[in-house]
Amino acid sequence: MTDNDDRMTRFEQRLDALGGDVRVLKDDVGVLKGDVHRLRVLYEQHDTKIRTIAEVQAHHGRQLEEHGTLLREIKQELAPLGDIRDFVHRIADEHERRLSALEKHTGIQ
């Protein structure tokens, strides 16, 4: 019977060791579950921020396109003023000469 007793004792020791290993594994799994949960929360927070940033950038892109379009329209609308400036410059010179001639002719100075 001692042979059976020895085997039973060794079996119980192995069983106790396995029980300890299982407890360690359960603890490790619990820690991993907590880590995974924290990572999920962190991901959700960053995902929301990233989506918000992308939406803001898209909005700013649309605004820049609209402003570019408006600036091109303004530039086209102002283009005739370049011609007017040249016209006024030529007329003003001629007008000054006419006034000077009129003043000389009438004696007004």
DSSP state of 52: H
What the block records as the tokens of 64 is 């820049």
Residue spans per domain, the chain: 1-81
Give, in order, the Cα–Cα distances in Å from 88 to each of 30, 97, 100: 86, 14, 18
Task: Please report the pLDDT score of residue 51 as a whole number.
Answer: 93
Q: What is the pLDDT of residues 36-53, one digit of tens each?
A: 999 999 999 899 899 999
Task: Please report the pLDDT score of residue 1 as a whole number.
Answer: 62
Task: Please report the pLDDT score of residue 102 as a whole number.
Answer: 82
Please give the model's pTM, rounded to 2 decimal places. Answer: 0.44
The Cα 6–Cα 1 span in angstroms is 9
Task: Please report the pLDDT score of residue 6 as a whole number.
Answer: 87
The Cα 9–Cα 18 span in angstroms is 14
Q: Which residues of the chain have pLDDT under 70?
A: 1, 109
What is the dihedral angle through the alpha carbons of 67, 72, 75, 80, rounded to the nearest 10 degrees?
A: -140
